[in-house]
Amino acid sequence: MERLNILFLTYCYPPQKFPRSVQISHLVQYLRKDFNITVVTSEPENEGDPSLLSFTPLDNVVYAPKSNFTKIIERSKGHRIKKEILPDFQYLWHFDLFRKARVLIDDSSPDVIITFGHPMSTHIAGLKLKRKFPHIKWLAHFSDPWVDNIFNDYNAWTKWINKYYQDSVLKSADRLIFTSQETIDLVTKYYSEEVRKKSICLPHIFNQALYFHQSDHTNEKIILRYIGNFYGNRQPDSFLKALKLLSHEQRAQLRVEFIGSEAKSIKDIINFFKLEDTVFTYPAVSYIKSLELMHSADILLIIDAPTEKSPFLPSKLIDYIGANKPIFGITPPGTSQKLIEEMGFLVADSRDVSDISNKLMQMIESFSKNKSKKVPLNIRDRYSISNVGEKMKDVLETI
């Protein structure tokens, strides 16, 4: 069978330090053994995370530079006004992406185009390319809901224009990929059966080879480690309040580490609850270093924003699964909660301090009895790069 030519369009790609960069790189590296893949992405504006380049060769990458007009608007004042007018923060770049991709298509005639959002404006470029080259198959890949994302801060205009683009993308793309079934249900509930039928669930993935050199550690205390920053409504307040409810003896068994969360506001709340001897903050680390820290922890911590329900499948949770360590989830009912409980680990509602405290006590007792508890093999297989990569390969060959 002749190798298909695939065009990946994405704003995020190594060395840019985004979780999305890692996920797309994993797919590219797995699929390029069977397909001719060209990645069209934005030019890095800083050093990013050089560790991502240890598993991401850039020999198949083409940059779509931002035009002078795009740069001038981005650097101009009036950020509030731009937020009130533009569909998302990279809307202007989608024009630059479209122009670069159009030239590549004229030169190489790809068989399939895949657009990756977030940011969702990448899909707008895909929509325009589909209209210009209707014979080329188009697959739109979503890491999060678009208009239905509960963390959107839309006004009436930006909600309307994003809904217009979402309608057009969902109807025009040949296939739609989402990372959880809950997201499919949320996004497609008001659309036709045709849209739902072309929607596919392919989750985030981890690459076991990147953990290969790690060795097991034995820690004096139970190290409960959170990797990542806090922002918006995703804050550790409820967790710290719950930690304060534990007895001194229970807290003495724990060492909590926030990696990448060194903001003064976080340190202030730790000091406010007088938890300086239990909770420690550290600066952000590279992606490869974060995998090492996941592996050397005893228990890995997920903290999500308090909502009634969450359809999100964070890629960090999948990296945690790759580290093969117990996971304690402070997360609303939804995708993450179901997955963590399926693995046999504890979950507390992020809105319930008492529930978090009780689960912390159970976690300490459970770990003391069984320190070798791991992620079930069938779940690790489900999110492995080989399993999801093969499913993606099937989608591309049958689209």
- Predicted pLDDT of residue 368: 81
- Predicted pLDDT of residue 80: 83
Q: Which of 204, 121, 106, 133 is nearest to 169 (CA)?
A: 121
- Collapsing DSSP states into helix, strand and coil, what is residue 351? coil
Kindly report the CATH number that applies to the domain delimited by 209-378.
Answer: 3.40.50.2000
Confidence of residue 1 (pLDDT cuts 50, 70, 90): low
Residue 273 reports pLDDT greater than 80:
yes
Alpha-carbon distance values, 34 to 38, 41, 54, 389 (Å): 13, 21, 21, 11
**Looking at the chain, which residues constitute the CATH 3.40.50.2000 domain(s)?**
5-205+384-398, 209-378
Average pLDDT over residues 10-38: 97
Q: In terms of pLDDT, which residue wins out, 217 or 110?
A: 110
Categorise residue 396: left if φ over 0, alpha if ψ from -120 to 50, beta otherwise: alpha
Cα–Cα dist 219/197, whole Å: 49
Model confidence pLDDT, tens digit, residues 129-160: 999 999 999 999 999 999 999 888 899 999 99
- Predicted pLDDT of residue 212: 66
Q: What is the second-level CATH architecture of the domain 5-205+384-398? A: 3-Layer(aba) Sandwich (3.40)
Confirm whether pTM is higher than 0.85: yes
> Which residues are CB-contacts of 156 (< 8 A; sequence separation ≥ 6)?
none
- Predicted pLDDT of residue 297: 94
Pairing of strands 137-142, 175-178: parallel
Confidence of residue 333 (pLDDT cuts 50, 70, 90): very high
- Predicted pLDDT of residue 217: 64
Residue 214 reports pLDDT greater than 60:
no
Model confidence pLDDT, tens digit, residues 275-327: 999 999 999 999 999 999 999 999 999 999 888 888 889 999 999 999 999 99
Confidence of residue 386 (pLDDT cuts 50, 70, 90): very high
